[in-house]
């Protein structure tokens, strides 16, 4: 009986233990599922917050100055930085200067290059009230700015005709070569239509209305044909521009989506415009746009097949294959900073905020190094940026070990650590900028334009638009008026030899002859 009772007790105990074990396993499973759902919800909320910020939020990515100072004091840095911080702390900071009063707007002087039309005004009576004669001692000059909108004029080519009575032949002076053979538009009008469409973001139907108010009716279909022909004629210049860009040791690269009309369906599909740009460290600057129907990396390989320098871009996988052909990869600190900033905005991550503070120190160095020569820039980066980069790497590595893989801050840190060698490339090469903002700024005109023209009509139209946009934006980078540049190009290109094509590239261009404003001024003075 005792043995049977003991056996029953043991069985009951075993059953209770099994129930407890099953309950614990079920609880652990439920807790794991809860953590998974919490992590997934956090990730989804982060994506929603990021999209809301892109759509409705501010584009500024800056922390409060006081917050940065507090966070920087908490960061574990190397000995050099600690000594520097201790030195700064030993010397009391000067009191903050009073906030200066808001400056009033000052009227800018009118450009001296504008033509002047003088209107003389004299007093009615040259005798004073006392009866004495008034003597002219000088004059007061006041200037006003006036405008004549869309002033059209007709160029008449009058060619003399000569006849030979003996040979019974007639000879006449040839017509000057034109971009559009036997066409009605002169180079100035072609430049106006092209610049208005691609730089001022005016669709052709709006230009049709604007020109109609001046009494000149130009069908949008005609202007569309003109724009297409100009794109074809300018293609050799764009090819020469590409060769010039690829001749540099460091270039920027980026891409942005555009809508492409799908023929026969009445819908649009996604296409892409790639941008390749020289850095701001070179005096002669240029930018190239390339229109493609996809985002495949083969398009970048096609353009950069003869390039063997350093390519500064984001971490898009389409650029990875370029490293096999000898291209050195450099990454953008602005992208790394943006991911940390988004993590800080989402959950107030102090880890991300402290990392942002260190990155801000790197940008302070770049502001001081912007105008320096390459050797001096490299030396300054080694003295001031290298210790900060090393401290940032230690900080991110230590904090990453404490975070779960699905954490938003962890993903931001992973982006930086996985691209660390490429992110620090700029420390080894003084010609490499710290970020890819120059390429992103080059894409902005295209982003503004697509809000007006909505989509590209065809692949050929996209390719021609990329050609024109490359020359316009390159002209602006070199300080040229895009209208004056294209007008001169359209005048000289039909008779220019292939070997002299480089003369018309934006970084080499010098305007031949006087400007239209100067010509009008001389005519008015002669009259």
pLDDT tens string 505-516: 999 998 765 444
Asked whether 427 and 381 are in contact (CB, 8 A), the reply is yes
Q: What is the full DSSP assignment across 95-149?
A: PPPPPPPPPPP-PPPPPTTS---------S--B-TTSPBPPP------------T
Specify the pLDDT at position 157.
84
Quick check: helix, strand or coil at residue 201? coil
Task: Using pLDDT thresholds of 50, 70 and 90, give the confidence band for residue 435.
Answer: very high
Specify the pLDDT at position 77.
39
Specify the pLDDT at position 9.
58
The share of the chain scoring above pLDDT 90, in percent, equals 42
pLDDT surpassing 70 at residue 395:
yes
Specify the pLDDT at position 50.
56
**Token reading at 106:** 């000052």
Range ranked top by mean pLDDT from 51-60, 84-93, 423-432: 423-432
The whole-number average pLDDT for the span 178-191 is 88
Specify the pLDDT at position 122.
84
Give the chain's end-to-end CA distance (angstroms, integer): 137
Specify the pLDDT at position 226.
93
Quick check: helix, strand or coil at residue 69? helix
Task: Using pLDDT thresholds of 50, 70 and 90, give the confidence band for residue 423.
Answer: very high
Specify the pLDDT at position 375.
94
110 vs 338, residue with greater confidence:
338
Specify the pLDDT at position 17.
66
pLDDT surpassing 50 at residue 527:
no
The whole-number average pLDDT for the span 313-335 is 90
Specify the pLDDT at position 215.
86
Specify the pLDDT at position 512.
61
Least reliable range by pLDDT among 31-45, 202-216, 405-419, 489-503: 31-45
Least reliable range by pLDDT among 5-9, 217-221, 381-385, 422-426: 5-9
Q: What is the mean pLDDT of the chain?
A: 81
353 vs 39, residue with greater confidence:
353
Task: Using pLDDT thresholds of 50, 70 and 90, give the confidence band for residue 34.
Answer: confident
Q: How far apart are CA 281 and CA 424, in angstroms?
A: 18
Sign of CA dihedral 437, 439, 440, 444: positive
Specify the pLDDT at position 480.
94
Quick check: helix, strand or coil at residue 271? strand
Q: How far apart are CA 33 and CA 171, in angstroms?
A: 93
Specify the pLDDT at position 59.
52
Backbone angles phi, psi at 262, to 5 degrees: -85, 115
Specify the pLDDT at position 449.
79
Specify the pLDDT at position 4.
54
Specify the pLDDT at position 195.
94
């Amino acid at each position: 009986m005792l043995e049977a009772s003991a056996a029953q007790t043991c069985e009951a105990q075993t059953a209770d233990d099994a129930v407890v074990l099953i309950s614990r396993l079920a609880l652990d499973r439920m807790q794991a599922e809860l953590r998974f759902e919490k992590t997934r919800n956090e990730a989804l909320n982060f994506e929603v917050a990021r999209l809301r910020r892109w759509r409705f939020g501010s584009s500024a990515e800056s922390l409060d100055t006081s917050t940065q100072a507090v966070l920087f004091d908490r960061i574990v840095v190397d000995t050099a930085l600690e000594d520097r911080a201790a030195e700064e702390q030993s010397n009391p900071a000067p009191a903050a200067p009073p906030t200066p009063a808001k400056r009033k707007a000052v009227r800018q002087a009118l450009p001296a290059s504008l033509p002047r039309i003088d209107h003389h005004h004299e007093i009615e009576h040259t005798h004073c009230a006392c009866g004495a004669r008034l003597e002219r001692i000088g004059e007061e000059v006041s200037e006003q700015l006036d405008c004549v909108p869309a002033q059209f004029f007709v160029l008449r080519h009058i060619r003399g005709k000569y006849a030979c009575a003996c040979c019974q032949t007639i000879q006449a002076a040839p017509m000057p070569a034109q971009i559009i053979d036997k066409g009605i538009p002169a180079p100035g009008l072609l430049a106006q239509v092209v610049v208005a469409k691609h730089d001022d973001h005016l669709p052709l139907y709006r230009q049709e209305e604007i020109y109609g108010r001046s009494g000149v009716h130009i069908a949008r279909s005609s202007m569309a044909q003109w724009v297409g022909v100009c794109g074809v004629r300018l293609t050799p210049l764009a090819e020469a521009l590409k060769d010039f860009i690829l001749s540099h040791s460091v270039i920027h690269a980026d891409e942005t989506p555009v809508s492409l009309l799908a023929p026969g369906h009445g819908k649009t599909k996604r296409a892409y415009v790639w941008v390749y740009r020289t850095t701001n460290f070179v005096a002669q600057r240029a930018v190239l746009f390339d229109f493609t129907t996809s985002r495949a990396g083969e398009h970048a390989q096609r353009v950069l097949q003869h390039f063997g320098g350093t390519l500064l871009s984001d971490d898009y996988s389409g650029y990875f294959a370029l490293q096999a052909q000898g291209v050195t990869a450099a990454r953008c600190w602005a992208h790394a900073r943006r991911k940390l900033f988004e993590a800080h905005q989402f959950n107030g991550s102090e880890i991300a905020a402290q990392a942002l503070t260190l990155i801000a120190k790197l940008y302070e160095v770049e502001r001081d190094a912007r105008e320096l020569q390459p050797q001096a820039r490299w030396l300054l980066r080694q003295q001031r940026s290298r210790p900060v980069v090393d401290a940032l790497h230690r900080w991110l590595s230590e904090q990453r070990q404490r975070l779960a893989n699905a954490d938003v801050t962890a993903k931001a840190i992973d982006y930086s650590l996985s691209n660390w060698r490429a992110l620090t490339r700029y420390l080894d090469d003084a010609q490499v900028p710290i970020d890819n903002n120059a390429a992103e700024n080059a894409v902005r005109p295209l982003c503004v334009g697509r809000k007006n023209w909505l989509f590209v009509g065809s692949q050929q139209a996209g390719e021609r638009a990329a050609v024109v946009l490359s020359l316009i934006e390159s002209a602006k980078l070199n300080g040229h008026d895009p209208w004056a540049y294209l007008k001169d190009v359209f005048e000289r290109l039909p008779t220019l030899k292939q070997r002299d094509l480089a003369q018309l590239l934006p970084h080499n261009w010098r305007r031949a002859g006087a400007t239209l404003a100067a010509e009008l001024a001389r005519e008015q003075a002669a009259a």
